[in-house]
Structure 1
Amino acid sequence: MIYWEHVYGKNQEGSAINVNVIGIPHAVGAYVSGTELAPDALREAGLIEQLQQAGLKVSDAGNVKLPDYLPRHNIPPVRHWPAPRMLWDLLRKEARDWLHGDDFALMLGGDCSTIVGTATAHQELHGDLAYLLVIDGHLDAVAPSPHRCLGAAGMGLWFLLRDNPMWAAEQAWTSDRISVIGCQQPPEESCGIEIVSLADLRASEGEHVVSRLLKNIPANAKLLVHFDVDVMDEEAMAAAYSPSKTGLSLKEAENLLAAVVQDSRVIGLEVTEFSALRDTTGEYAKRLVRLLANALAARATRASSDTLHR
């Protein structure tokens, strides 16, 4: 159990936290559908209202308009290709506006392959000051193979770190600017990425290892946080696209996310891998909405406190 706690609650007058909500309704990196329904399912579960009740100023930009046709197939090496590339090209342009201004961007995916488009836009905006913090039960850095067909959802970090003709960003990410937290079974090959495993979190009670990781990031950095709901165990989040037998409890995930997004260098959060088709009663959407609202309320409370002590 991770025991660290934070103070949540409604932020009072003086909060400067404005949240811009954007939906990215897709499943281009997935084998089956479900994640494309997540943005609307979270809204229907009261996301906007709960963020407002937490004292946040919220604007809802609606859903990104995807191309009318996105291929779907099971041909190696990348499932549905070039649909992932089509999404990334779109997000590469759109996300620049979301991550450029003063508003905090809350991006609702979609499967994990979302990260390639948003992180590319993030780096093109902020250059070497762009950092990526991934809260995920897995290291999504699988390399494509001509002998098997896999979804881009498991390949996102591979695409970001490689200069390759399939996805040619102007500059590949460097592994020293990417960290992964919550990995349930760290692989032998980490691609040079710093990994804070689930075992590491629990051995240190979480707060210390996260604090150390954040302290090692430059003070003037710009942080994008990727939150994959499969970092939680299936008891907490059975509506993950691929539910995990092991993982964080709902409260542990909330505390971890709050500890991260309280950092004023975080400019955006993307939420991925929630499958609304698995959520037949709507209960898990409500759980995720409460988790997000509480975590962002902690950020607002921190911002208000910092303002009072200046």
Structure 2
Amino acid sequence: MREHCHLPQSIGVVGFPFSKGQPRTGAELGPGALREAGLVSQLESLGNHVIDFGDVELEPVSRDEPVMGVKNPLAVGTANKKLSDAVTKLLKQNQSIITLGGDHSMAIGSIHGHAQVEPDLVIVWVDAHADIHTPLTSPSGNIHGMPLSFLARELQDYVPDLPGFDWCSPCISVHDIAYIGLRDVDPAERAIIEKFGICSYSMQEVDKFGIREVVDRALQQLDPSGTRPIHLSFDVDGMDPSLTPSTGTPVPGGLSLRETLYLAEKIAETGRLSVLDVAEVNPALGTDDKKQMTLSNTVDVTTTFFGRHRQGNAPHGYEIPRP
């Protein structure tokens, strides 16, 4: 396992302009909008060395018919193969990675690529949704609700072969996953979570225990030794839709800005954040004000994962001027 350093860090940014994992257009605009909102410059202002590698080059897929009700399998599979390859390549250069989505089907590629370099990773999944449907349990057929089922070894008996996914070998255990912020979980997903004993903290537990206790418990359950690299998959709908309204499947009653920033601070403090997904920003949804609020709050949270402190950040090497 490569070393995970404290700030300042070397960070690679890669965009995944893709929206075929769900029915709404616009999520493919997320990477560009986050860059325009100043994400890279704000990361650099914290002393980080940031290289923006641009977007994964995706080619249109023709004749992508549904298979067993699953929509756009070939497009999702081939796009995520490219993301997996990109993440693997960049991680080997000894840097942390931020993947900018894109819908949450992107986690198939980003986690798979991460696991090729750091197979001991753990996953903190911050989301309103569990995204662990199998192709046979999903009521919608949208793959952004299925990424974890393609990746977990314990679920392979429940996942049929789909076109475009022959490269996607399972690479994690269900016991490597911790959910935070769930509040819209379908019955079949709840059955999967309970059958396999997946670590799960819904908004009910956040309300009951508080975000500090929830984060501490989740990290302790995933990794009692405190040594494993962390893959943080952040769907912006994990936050309350009053904070990130420009997203495709908003669910009321989500994490507050304070709770989300605290979570990001605690993950940053571990020094083990290896890959961060930022998923489901959709600048095509909502008014300009809602778009700007979504982008601003998402940038604030993302930079907090990489060293921004609410108490303020002293510039590196700053000398207080003398008269």
* RCO higher in structure (CA 8 A, sep ≥6): 1
Q: For residue 61 of structure 1, report the CA deviation from its aligned partner.
A: 0.9
User: 1:179-235 deviations in whole A, cap 9, x for unaligned?
Assistant: 111111452431432101112122212112211322340433121110000111111
2:306 maps to 1:296: yes
2:161 maps to 1:154: no
2:136 maps to 1:145: yes
Q: Which residue of 2 is the match for residue 189 of structure 1?
A: 192
Whether the aligned pair in 1 keeps the contact of 2:151 and 2:170 (CA below 8 Å) is no
Whether the aligned pair in 1 keeps the contact of 2:7 and 2:307 (CA below 8 Å) is no
Q: Which residue of 1 is the match for residue 278 of structure 2?
A: 271
Amino acid at match of 2:306: L
User: 1:117-145 deviations in whole A, cap 9, x for unaligned?
Assistant: 11112222222x12111111111111223
User: Any runs of at least 4 consecutive aligned residues in structure 1 with deviations exceeding 6 A, and if so which?
Assistant: none
Matching of residues 171-186 of structure 1 within 5 Å? 171-186=170-185
In structure 1, stretches of 5+ residues that fail to align are 1-13, 305-310
User: 1:64-114 deviations in whole A, cap 9, x for unaligned?
Assistant: 111243666666421112111111221221110223333221110110101
Whether the aligned pair in 2 keeps the contact of 1:71 and 1:81 (CA below 8 Å) is no
Q: Percent identity?
A: 25
In structure 2, stretches of 5+ residues that fail to align are 1-5, 315-323
State the Cα RMSD in Å: 2.6
Whether the aligned pair in 1 keeps the contact of 2:60 and 2:75 (CA below 8 Å) is no
Task: Say which SS state the counterpart of residue 233 (structure 2) adopts.
Answer: strand
Q: Distance in 1 between matches of 2:131 and 2:45?
A: 35
Q: Distance in 2 between matches of 1:15 and 1:147?
A: 41
Task: Say which SS state the counterpart of residue 99 (structure 2) adopts.
Answer: strand
Q: Distance in 2 between matches of 1:278 and 1:122?
A: 30
Q: Which residue of 2 is the match for residue 64 of structure 1?
A: 56
Q: Distance in 2 between matches of 1:262 and 1:27?
A: 32
Structure 1 residues 197 and 51, CA gap change in structure 2 (3 angstroms): same
Q: Distance in 2 between matches of 1:211 and 1:147?
A: 31
2:248 maps to 1:248: no
Task: Say which SS state the counterpart of residue 181 (structure 1) adopts.
Answer: strand
Task: Say which SS state the counterpart of residue 48 (structure 1) adopts.
Answer: helix
Q: Which residue of 2 is the match for residue 205 of structure 1?
A: 210
Amino acid at match of 1:104: S
Provide TM-score, normalisation by structure 1.
Answer: 0.84
Whether the aligned pair in 1 keeps the contact of 2:151 and 2:169 (CA below 8 Å) is no
Q: For residue 55 of structure 1, report the CA deviation from its aligned partner.
A: 2.9
Matching of residues 74-89 of structure 1 within 5 Å? 76-89=68-81
Q: Which residue of 2 is the match for residue 261 of structure 1?
A: 268
Q: Which residue of 2 is the match for residue 232 of structure 1?
A: 239
Matching of residues 85-100 of structure 1 within 5 Å? 85-100=77-92
Task: Say which SS state the counterpart of residue 242 (structure 1) adopts.
Answer: coil
The number of residues matched between the two structures is 288
Q: Which residue of 1 is the match for residue 29 of structure 2?
A: 37
Structure 1 residues 124 and 98, CA gap change in structure 2 (3 angstroms): same
Structure 1 residues 202 and 280, CA gap change in structure 2 (3 angstroms): same
Q: Distance in 1 between matches of 2:126 and 2:139?
A: 27
